[in-house]
Amino acid sequence: MSAATTAAPPAARGRAPGARAGAVRLVGLAALALYAAVSLYPFLWMVSGAFKDRFEILAGGHLIPVRPTLDTLLQTWSELRFLDYFLNSLRVTGFTVLGVLAVYSLASYAFAVLDFPGRRALFWFFVGLLFVPGITVLLPVVILENRLGILGTHLGLVLPFVNGTAPLTVLMLTNAFRSVPRELHDAARVDGAGEARIFWRVYLPLSRPTMITVAVLVAVPTWNEYVLTRVSLTEESRYTLPLALESLATGNVPQYNEIMAGSLIIVVPVIVLFLALQRYFVSGLAGAVKD
């Protein structure tokens, strides 16, 4: 009896940490589930509203449409002139991503591999720009573009977008290039390869997940950018999708089902892009935070 009594407390003490860990994990999962539900609910309402007519959406009602219809999407597609604005957004986003990858992959290679005076100070200067709010340079950018004669053009959007992504892109790609074994660089040098060939043949292929991750992180906010686009573009023929969506919301009598349909049309390419590249995303982020 006494032996059983003395043996019980160690077993109980052994179970207690495991029970506490399970409880903490359960609370964490519940909190994440609640956060996911709160975040997902507005998106579900947007999808629901895109399949409702104007009478049903004004009546409120249930999340699931009572009389689902494709007429709202088709009418919004026509009013939004989706193809024209889609091509404008695709042009701006595509050239921005290409510019970012071309310019900052070379800069990051220099920071990670080459040795030159002031390298460390210049690198941390780029990283420090992460803490500068983009809105603070909006007016100087507009004034500069006006003087250069590119205000109101797609080039006037691409250049600030490329410049604005410098801090995060340089940080991620520099860490990704640093994670490449130095022995590969030295072996390529022994074989007679120059820096350009080493960069192209060794570092870029090994850092592909991080490059793709950077491309996604640049493409999504560029696709959705509104502030600079609203300030810069004045000709409707050059509008991107966010400005086209605004035109639906600023009518005399806004049709909320059409606004939700337009929002759904705009967000679908972003979702498709992420789903297509998600297998590279996690590994790319993991490679980018290594030092």
Model confidence pTM above 0.85? no
Question: Which residues in the chain come in under a pLDDT of 50?
Answer: 1-5, 291
Residue 261 one-letter amino acid: A
Whose structure tokens read 């077993």?
A: 11
> Could you count the other beta carbons within 10 Å of the beta carbon of residue 232?
21
SS (H, E, C) the chain: CHHHHHHHHHHHHHHHHHHHHHHHHHHHHHHHHHHHHHHHHHHHHHHHHCCCCHHHHHCCCCCCCCCCCCHHHHHHHHHHCHHHHHHHHHHHHHHHHHHHHHHHHHHHHHHHHCCCCCHHHHHHHHHHHHHCCHHHHHHHHHHHHHHHCCCCCCHHHHHHHHHHCHHHHHHHHHHHHHCCCHHHHHHHHHCCCCHHHHHHHHHHHHCHHHHHHHHHHHHHHHHHCCHHHHHHCCCHHHCCHHHHHHHHHCCCCCCHHHHHHHHHHHHHHHHHHHHHHHHHHHHHHHHHCCC
CA–CA distance from 142 to each of 112, 137, 166 (Å)? 33, 9, 19
- Degrees, nearest 5: CA angle 185-186-192: 95
- CB of 162 within 8 A of CB of 99? yes
What is the third-level CATH fold of 76-288? MetI-like fold (1.10.3720)
What is the token pair recorded at 191? 């074989």
What is the token pair recorded at 21? 């860990």
Residue 185 one-letter amino acid: H
pLDDT of residue 200: 92
CA–CA separation, 12 and 9 (whole Å):
5
pLDDT of residue 280: 73
pLDDT digits (tens, 9 = 90+) for 22-81: 888 888 899 999 998 888 888 888 888 888 888 888 777 678 888 888 888 888 887 777
pLDDT of residue 204: 92
pLDDT of residue 291: 47
Count of residues making up the chain: 291
- CB of 90 within 8 A of CB of 278? no
pLDDT of residue 1: 46
